């Protein structure tokens, strides 16, 4: 956990965040967390813990009932929403939710173009984002002609093209074969961006994120080194987190 970090040096600062849906269901009960610039952090928790609700507060889709969310020193508030949504890039679990244009180029250009970028500057932004995910050679392909893993990488590129402060990944390893999982891991490690990974894939969280948060029943119940949390059998059992059969986190070298 990052200690002694002010709002300027933190990519994300959530303080006392509480939220109840209009039907009265209370999803968050006072969430506190700070993520420093350049950290890769896993957000773990059982279904119904409030993970999606928390993520939807990060770019202002939901508005806090109480508490605050700050992204790189800028409060998530109505008057800042355009800039907040540039700073917080969310990559959805299904890449087809983000890819809707006739070509990869047009999909990746969509966000920057909507923000006013034009001409050579826009083209350079598209080339850079696709280069970051190893998809530059597919720039003129229709997204629906790509494999699922390739579409996920293009979905990441659509977010990177906005030059975000923090990349939020919703179940990034789901439906990927082992080679595609490895390729995505290599890409994410190479990015100079803060990463918050929401996942049930505990081995992938261990591989990718030195730090993890456990959200359960609307509060953060644990925050620490991922390996330590996954080895805490009592914590895991109490919050319905289960490792795959035969997987031992103590056998994995995460120093790379």
Model pLDDT, residue 253: 73
Kindly tell me if the per-residue pLDDT of 6 is higher than 80: no
- pLDDT per residue as tens digits for the range 103-141: 999 999 999 999 999 999 999 999 999 999 999 999 999
Strand partners, 13: 34, 70
Q: pTM surpassing 0.85?
A: yes
Kindly tell me if the per-residue pLDDT of 2 is higher than 80: no
Residues 6+ apart with CB under 8 A from 52: 170, 198
- pLDDT per residue as tens digits for the range 16-67: 999 999 999 999 999 999 999 999 999 999 998 999 999 999 999 999 999 9
Query: What does the DSSP 8-state code read for residue 138?
Result: G
**What percent of the chain clears pLDDT 70, i.e. is strictly above it?**
96
**What percent of the chain clears pLDDT 90, i.e. is strictly above it?**
90
Fold classification of 10-243 (topology level): Rossmann fold (3.40.50)
- Coil vs helix vs strand at 211: strand
Strand partners, 29: 18
CB 227 within 8 A of CB 248: no
Please give the average per-residue pLDDT across 74-79, as a whole number.
94
- pLDDT per residue as tens digits for the range 140-189: 999 999 999 999 999 999 999 999 999 999 999 999 999 999 999 999 99
Cα–Cα distances in Å, from 232 out to 3, 76, 98, 116, 133?
22, 34, 37, 49, 35
Phi-psi region of 137 (alpha: psi -120 to 50; beta: other; left: phi over 0): alpha
């Amino acid at each position: 956990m990052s200690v002694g970090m002010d709002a300027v040096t933190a990519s994300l600062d959530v303080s006392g965040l509480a939220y109840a849906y209009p039907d009265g269901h209370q999803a968050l009960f006072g969430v506190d967390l700070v993520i420093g610039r350049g950290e890769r952090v896993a957000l773990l928790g059982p279904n119904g813990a409030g993970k999606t609700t928390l993520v939807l507060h990060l770019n202002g889709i939901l508005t806090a009932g109480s508490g605050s969310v700050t992204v790189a020193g800028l409060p998530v508030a109505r008057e800042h929403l355009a800039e907040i949504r540039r700073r917080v890039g969310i990559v959805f679990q299904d890449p087809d939710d983000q890819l809707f244009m006739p070509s990869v180029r047009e999909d990746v250009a969509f966000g920057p173009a909507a923000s006013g970028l034009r001409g050579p500057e826009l083209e350079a932004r598209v080339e850079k984002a696709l280069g970051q995910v190893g998809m530059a050679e597919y720039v003129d392909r229709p997204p629906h002609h790509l494999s699922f893993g390739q579409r996920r990488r293009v979905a990441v590129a659509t977010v990177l093209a906005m030059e975000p402060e923090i990349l939020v990944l919703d179940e990034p390893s789901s439906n990927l074969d082992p080679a595609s999982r490895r390729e995505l891991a290599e890409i994410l490690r190479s990015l100079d961006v803060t990463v918050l990974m929401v996942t049930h894939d505990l081995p992938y969280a261990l591989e990718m994120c030195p730090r993890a948060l456990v959200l359960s029943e609307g509060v953060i119940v644990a925050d620490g080194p991922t390996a330590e949390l996954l080895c805490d059998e009592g914590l895991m059992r109490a919050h319905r987190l289960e490792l795959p059969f035969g997987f031992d986190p103590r056998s994995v070298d995460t120093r790379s």
